[in-house]
Copies of this chain bind each other. A is one copy, B any other.
Amino acid sequence: MPILATTPTLKISSHELSQIRQLTELKSSSGSHSPSLTTMQESLPDINVAIDACYLSNPLATDLFWKFFNSDVQMDDQLFRRIVEAYPAQNANIAERLAPAIGVDSSRILMANGATEAIQAIIHNYASHLHVNVPTFSPYYEFATPGHQITTFQSHKEDGFALDPVQYVDSVVKSGADAAILISPNNPDGYMIPRGDLNWILDRLSYLRTIVLDESFLHFGLDAPPGVLPSLVSVTEAYPNVSIVKSMSKDFGIAGIRAGYAVMAPDRVKELLDHGYLWNINGMAEYFFLLMTRRNFITEYLGVLREYRGAVSRFTARTANADYVTAYPTSANFQLMELPPGLPADLITTLMLVRHGVYVRNCDDKIGLDGEFIRVAIRTEKENHQIISALEDVISSV
C-alpha cells in the first residue's frame, strides 16, 4: 500500500524517502523472499545493517561452527583447499556417515542442498495436490508446478495461530489433497504442534500419499533428553507417508553452506537417488555433516542451544507485555508481531532499517496473514536489546 497515503504526517527526511523508494523497488524484484543482506548492501551501500533480524539462525552456533572449523584448518592446512578442490562424496555415502547422529537408518536419509531442495524433490515427486496451512514458508507453494493443485487451511491470529487438529484433519480430507504440509514450529508464527495433536493428525492422515513435516525450527521448541538433538525423525518409521524436512541453516547458523536433509521411507530415498540428487552436497556442507558426527561438537552445540534458548525466552518475556505491538507466543527463535492500527509493516521495517540499521521481515507478502505484521528474528542478548529499542523508538515516533 502507498506509504504516504496511510500516514500523512510522517517525519522523514528526503534522503530517507529516497532510501524507502529504493528498498521498495529492491524488495519487489526479489519475489516472495527478502533480498539477501549482500544483495541489499550492494544496492544500497549507504544503509548500514547493524543487525540482521530477518535471518532466523542461532548466532552462538555460527560462532561454535567457526571455532571448530578454524581449529581443524589449523591442524590440517590442506583441509580447506581439499574442500574447495575435490569432489565431495556422493549423497548416499554422506547419509551413511551422518545416520548415527540423526538417529535413523541411512536408507531413510536424502541429503539436500539446503532444505529447499528436499522440499522441491518431495513436492515434485510425491504430491499432486498440496494442502498447506497458511500463513507458511512460501517455498511450499512456490515449488508447485502448474500441474499441482494447492488448497489451504487457515490458522487464525485470534487463536495464536494454533492448529486445531480436528478442524485441520477435516479440512485436509475435504480438500481431496494427496499431500499435507506441516511446519512445526511454523514459520512465520512459531506455533509448535503438541506431540499428542501431531500423533492424532498423523493417524487420521495415514491414507495420504505424503505428509511433509518440516522440523527446521524444532531445536528451539522441543525438549529432548540430555545429549540428544531434538527431532521427530522416528515418526517416519511408524508413518511411511511422512517426510521430515530439516534445514541446518537455522540451528547451526550456516545458511551460506546450503545444508539440509529429508528423512522418509527408504523406497522413496532410493528412487530420488536414482533420479539425480547424486552430487548435490558441496565440500563445506560435507565438512559440516561430518562435524555433526563428532560427539564433542554435539555436546558443545547442545550447550549453546540451551544458552540461546535462554536469550529467546528473555526476549519473548519482554515483548509479551509490550503496548506498542501485539507479539504472538512462539516456540521458535523468531516472533511474529502485529503492528498497531494504521501503521503499515513496510513503513516500520524500512524506518527500522534506515534509522537503526535493524533489518526485520515485513510480512506483507505472506499469504493468510490478515493485518500488518513483522517477523523479528531473535539474536544475541545484546542485539535483542537493540532490536526492541529500535522497534519502540520507530513505533513511538510515527
Contact = CB atoms under 8 A, between A and B. Distances in A.
A124 interface: yes
A136 to B, nearest CB: 16
Given A66-B81, A81-B66, A143-B275, A38 B280 contact: no
A81 B59 CA distance: 12
A287 to B, nearest CB: 9
Given A81-B66, A113-B113, A87 B249 contact: yes
Interface string A235-273: 000000000000001000111111000000000000000
Contact of A256 (B38, B93, B283): B283
B82 A256 contact: yes
Contact of A279 (B57, B81, B114, B254): B114
Contacts of A276: 116-117, 120, 124, 139, 142-143
B86 A37 contact: yes
Interface residues of A, number: 57
Contacts of A275: 120, 124, 143-145
B65 A84 contact: yes
Given A84-B254, A254-B84, A39 B116 contact: no
Contacts of A257: 84, 282-283
Interface in A72-105: 81-90, 93
A57 B85 contact: yes
Interface string A104-139: 000000000110110010001000000000000001
A80 to B, nearest CB: 9
Contacts of A85: 57, 62, 253-256
Contacts of A256: 82-88, 282-284, 286
A214 B120 CA distance: 25
A284 B84 contact: yes
Contacts of A86: 36-38, 52, 55, 255-256
A214 to B, nearest CB: 15
Nearest to A145: B275
A334 to B, nearest CB: 15
A60 to B, nearest CB: 12
A395 interface: no
Central interface residue in A31, A36, A254, by most chain B CB within 10 Å:
A36
A33 interface: yes
Contacts of A31: 90, 278
A280 B253 contact: no
A62 B84 contact: yes
B37 A113 contact: no
Interface of A: 30-31, 33, 35-39, 52, 55, 57, 62, 65-66, 69, 81-90, 93, 113-114, 116-117, 120, 124, 139, 142-145, 249, 253-258, 274-286
